[in-house]
Amino acid sequence: MAEYRHIGKVRRRQDGRAIVTGKAVYCDDIKIPGALYMKVLRSPYAHAEIRSIDVSAAEAMTGVKAVMTYKNAPAWKSGIPACRPVLDHHLRCVGDGVAVVCATSNDIAEAALERIQVEYEELPAVYDVEDAIKDGAPEVYRKEDQIESKGYVYDHNCLPPGSWFEGDDPPFYKIQEGDAEKGFAESDVVVEGKVSYDKPTFPGAPEAPFIAARWEDEGHVTVWASSQGPNMVARPLAMTIGAHISTITPNVGGSYGNKDSLSYTSMLVVAAAKVAGAPVRYAMTKEEQLLVYERRLSNKFIGKIGMTKDGMIRSIKGDWLVSTGISSELTQGQVAEGLGELNLALNKTPNWDVVTKVVVSNLPPVGIARGFGGQELKACALHLLTRAMKKLDRDPVQCLKKNFCSPGHEYYWRTGHKYKNPMMDYTPCFDAAAEKFRWNERWKGWTTPSRVEGSKSYGVGFSVHSSGDPQSDETFAYVRLENDQVMVHCVIAECGNGQRLGVAKVAAEVLNVPLERVTVVAADNGVNPADFGLAGSRGTITAGAAVGRAAQAAKEKLFEEASHIMHCSPEELDTKDLMVFKKDDPSVSIPWIQICPLYYSITGTGMIEGDFNHNNCVLNFVEVEVDRDTGLVKLTDLLSASDVGQVVNPIELKMQFEGGLGSAGMDTAQLEGHVLDPRIGRIMTHNMIDYKWRPFNELPTFNTVTLETPFDTGHPFHAIGIGEITGAAGPAAILMAVENALGGIEINEYPVTPDVILKALGKA
């Protein structure tokens, strides 16, 4: 491997001291002159119609500047397809917005909510994805809502397929290729079943979402958002309201993929600012975040898989039922990616017939979360696959390795088109990870635990995840050299993953300067060029490539300017530590500040085009301890593995491995899941005591395997991102391990809580 000055080296984050000393600025710290505080009156019913609403008493209160209801709200809709109004007389879940109050303080706004008089008519509700598509089920939307997309229309609680991921092409919501029935006939074993990953989960960002908005004039709005992608807020919102959006994002805190577009929330705040005629700020409470903010999609896979004796999958068929709550912020896009991710994992399968339905219900809305469709589908489909592997007594590591996408093979991705894996060979990663985990020593077979100690049985499990997103969508950047400073312009928000440090290191490496001389400007799409944002593990390649190319272009211009002063060709020059020198005689040198004097700058631009022909991969190995008397599961050993091309930030990579499996994988498999009271349709786990997740002191032993193969990606130092997928294989691996510990007893639902295990053992 090449030796670098900054890349792959441990470097202190430039914002680290401010964060740990409490000086870092977050959205709620921002002072916006004249801003009003916003509070939302929310529906107490899962499904209801507003028969009357009287806001006069609230409007009469001192300090109340505006009250917005469906009667005076702008006629905008968010979602893909557009379906959810700003406010509506038809309420679709507990917590759906009834009215918005804007006041001079939070306390006044809260008090005003209590003065609003509402008469409701309660309607029948539906929560389960299978129940919602039955004949006679309550309809969440109506014909007059006119929900359509790409020639498809809303029908019986099923949203029309398709998103902007496919552009003008047909929607990608199914894979139908080959002849599924013929494939089953050619198989040595065929398994059928249903697996559910359908308990709504909260991605767990510590800081609740924040949005503030100010109309600058009729056509321009400034938005402050706790979003990991400023343009993901700006672009959809601009299309919704028909105005130009400038989005500013200070420190986000945690996101875990869940603070991205904030589509409905941002639309609601911008609408309130329009009605109030003043800036408006809205900080969700933790209860609101748990009760009504975008959650992870839930789903069921009802399918059939055929396999031959050599462990090759011949056919897969199934219905993927995706629950999106009352609206789809980008569920259709998650469906497209989920199908592609399953196709990458089971890539050698010649026969496919997998069809998706995106189903609305009277649950809170679904949004973007780490795993983005593929985690949810594969948690179900790959678990069904274990039934075939068990019948044929196939080792799961070897079986999944054989079926995984190899160099030269094609796979479907989110556009509905096929792309070719040019060179990514993850076979060595499978082998190295299995060896470090001691898989061959621990794996005793499908029905034999690794070991048994009294009432406690131990089992191991494994799964794989891959995505075609690491180089998705275009990214632009520019780098300015000013005096003795390097300014990097790229819309990268800081949401905990250290990507701003990553691009700073790329610029510092290309320009051969100390890292402290590099500044990554604030995440503001008003002063930075276009970029999709940090999502889908794309930031490493796309932002790194755009910044690297911009820094290289700036360096070439620097040499061009210096060549006139030094009377040589630019090709004869190099640079280090803010000095330009002759390669053949480094003593002949001049400082940057002589080339870039006061009020002078050199700017280089860079861009990278989107390319879905680069897939990443993560492997999760787990060992669990299951107490057969209590049903309690304890994770005793974990290992995550990937080939990342080139490590950029070693510590941040380690934290991505551990945090990803922790926040997205382990707990959604074992602990997490909102508890719904079906009588009233309310989420009962809307606080951090009742919502169960793992504290840090219960994290198990964690190991990693990191290979560095210099893949020919767009990144200047051959890196490939894995941040979004690090925990996505975890649920399937954990459920496999639990079944292994129980001697092959079958469990077909998540999370595997003690009651689920005791029920499987016949003890509950």
DSSP assignment string, 115-128: T-EEEEEE-----S
Q: Identify the residue whose tokens are 């009377």.
A: 567
Q: Are 505 and 649 in contact (CB under 8 A)?
A: yes
Last residue of one domain, picked from the residues 575, 608, 641:
608
Tell me the per-residue pLDDT of 536-545, one tens digit each, with 9 for 90 and over. Answer: 788 899 999 9
Tell me the per-residue pLDDT of 701-754, one tens digit each, with 9 for 90 and over. Answer: 899 999 999 998 889 999 999 888 998 999 999 999 999 999 999 999 999 999
Report the alpha-carbon distance of residue 34 to residue 683 in Å, rounded.
35
Q: How many other CB atoms are found less than 10 A from the CB of residue 714?
A: 22
Q: Does the pLDDT of residue 369 top 70, yes or no?
A: yes
User: What CATH number has the domain bearing residue 41?
Assistant: 3.90.1170.50
Tell me the per-residue pLDDT of 124-136, one tens digit each, with 9 for 90 and over. Answer: 999 999 999 999 9
Report the alpha-carbon distance of residue 648 to residue 502 in Å, rounded.
6
Q: Are 250 and 200 in contact (CB under 8 A)?
A: no
User: CA 20 → CA 15, 23, 204, 520, 749, distances in Å?
Assistant: 9, 8, 20, 19, 40
With residue 551 as reference, give the H or E element that holds it: helix 539-566
Residues 552 and 486 in one domain: yes
User: What CATH number has the domain bearing residue 580?
Assistant: 3.30.365.10
Q: Does the pLDDT of residue 100 top 90, yes or no?
A: yes
Residues 548 and 455 in one domain: no
CA of residue 468 relative to chain centroid, distance: 14
DSSP 8-class letter at 44:
S
Residues 211 and 246 in one domain: yes
CA torsion angle 595 597 600 602 (round to 10): 30
Structure tokens at 604: 């280089």
Q: Buried (b) or exposed (e) across 122-153, using 16+ Cβ within 10 A?
A: ebebbbbbbebbeeebebbbeeebebebeebe
The average pLDDT across 434-446 equals: 98
Report the alpha-carbon distance of residue 381 to residue 112 in Å, rounded.
49
Query: For residue 743, is it within any domain?
Result: yes
Tell me the per-residue pLDDT of 499-524, one tens digit each, with 9 for 90 and over. Answer: 899 999 999 999 999 999 999 999 88
Q: What is the pLDDT of residue 61?
A: 99
Residues 423 and 493 in one domain: no
Q: What is the pLDDT of residue 492?
A: 85
DSSP assignment string, 69-100: -TTTS---EETTTT-EESS-SEE-STT-EEEE
139/688: higher pLDDT? 139
Residues 556 and 691 in one domain: no
Residues 63 and 212 in one domain: yes
Report the alpha-carbon distance of residue 702 to residue 583 in Å, rounded.
47
Query: For residue 139, is it within any domain?
Result: no
DSSP 8-class letter at 663:
I
When the pLDDT of each residue in the chain is averaged and rounded to a whole number, the result is: 95
Q: Does the pLDDT of residue 351 top 90, yes or no?
A: yes
* Number of domains the chain is built from: 3
678 three-state secondary structure: coil
Q: Does the pLDDT of residue 677 top 80, yes or no?
A: yes
Q: Are 52 and 122 in contact (CB under 8 A)?
A: no
76/701: higher pLDDT? 76
Q: Are 471 and 614 in contact (CB under 8 A)?
A: yes
Query: For residue 581, is it within any domain?
Result: yes
590 three-state secondary structure: strand
Q: In the chain, pLDDT over 70 holds for what percent of residues?
A: 100
49 bridge partner residues: 90, 121
Question: Before 81, cis peptide (omega within 30)?
Answer: yes
CB-side exposure of 311: number of CA atoms within 13 Å?
A: 15
The average pLDDT across 49-77 equals: 99
Query: For residue 618, is it within any domain?
Result: yes
Tell me the per-residue pLDDT of 543-555, one tens digit each, with 9 for 90 and over. Answer: 999 999 999 999 9
Residues 409 and 376 in one domain: yes
Q: Does the pLDDT of residue 533 top 80, yes or no?
A: no
Structure tokens at 373: 């469709």
Closest CA to 281 of 223, 216, 217: 223
pLDDT band, very low/low/confident/very high, at 14 (cuts 50, 70, 90): confident
Residues 225 and 108 in one domain: yes
Among 492-501, 589-598, 656-665, where is mean pLDDT lowest? 656-665
Report the alpha-carbon distance of residue 232 to residue 252 in Å, rounded.
14
Question: Before 407, cis peptide (omega within 30)?
Answer: no
Q: Does the pLDDT of residue 656 top 90, yes or no?
A: no
Closest CA to 46 of 679, 708, 755, 697: 679
Report the alpha-carbon distance of residue 496 to residue 604 in Å, rounded.
28
Q: Buried (b) or exposed (e) across 248-281, using 16+ Cβ within 10 A?
A: bbbbbbbbbbbbbbbbbbbbbbbbbbbbbebbbb
Report residue 436: phi and psi, to 5°. -65, -35
Q: What is the pLDDT of residue 539?
A: 85
Residues 676 and 618 in one domain: yes
Q: What is the pLDDT of residue 528?
A: 87
Query: For residue 326, is it within any domain?
Result: no
Q: In the chain, pLDDT over 90 holds for what percent of residues?
A: 82
Last residue of one domain, picked from the residues 572, 588, 608:
608
Closest CA to 272 of 97, 497, 115: 97
Q: Does the pLDDT of residue 564 top 80, yes or no?
A: yes
Tell me the per-residue pLDDT of 235-260, one tens digit each, with 9 for 90 and over. Answer: 999 999 999 999 999 988 888 888 88
Beta strands 97-103 and 64-68 are antiparallel
With residue 658 as reference, give the H or E element that holds it: helix 650-660
The average pLDDT across 645-649 equals: 95
Q: Does the pLDDT of residue 1 top 70, yes or no?
A: no
Beta strands 36-42 and 585-591 are unpaired
561/660: higher pLDDT? 561
391/530: higher pLDDT? 391
CB-side exposure of 239: number of CA atoms within 13 Å?
A: 14
693/709: higher pLDDT? 709
3-state SS, 214-266, equals EEEECCEEEEEECCCCHHHHHHHHHHHHCCEEEEEECECCCCCCCCCCCHHHH
Report the alpha-carbon distance of residue 298 to residue 224 in Å, rounded.
30
Residues 379 and 509 in one domain: no
Q: Are 492 and 523 in contact (CB under 8 A)?
A: yes
Residue ranges making up the domain that contains 569:
16-25+473-608
Q: Are 611 and 715 in contact (CB under 8 A)?
A: no
Tell me the per-residue pLDDT of 177-215, one tens digit each, with 9 for 90 and over. Answer: 999 999 999 999 999 999 999 998 888 788 999 999 999
Query: For residue 20, is it within any domain?
Result: yes
Residues 536 and 445 in one domain: no
Beta strands 313-323 and 351-359 are parallel
Residues 601 and 645 in one domain: no
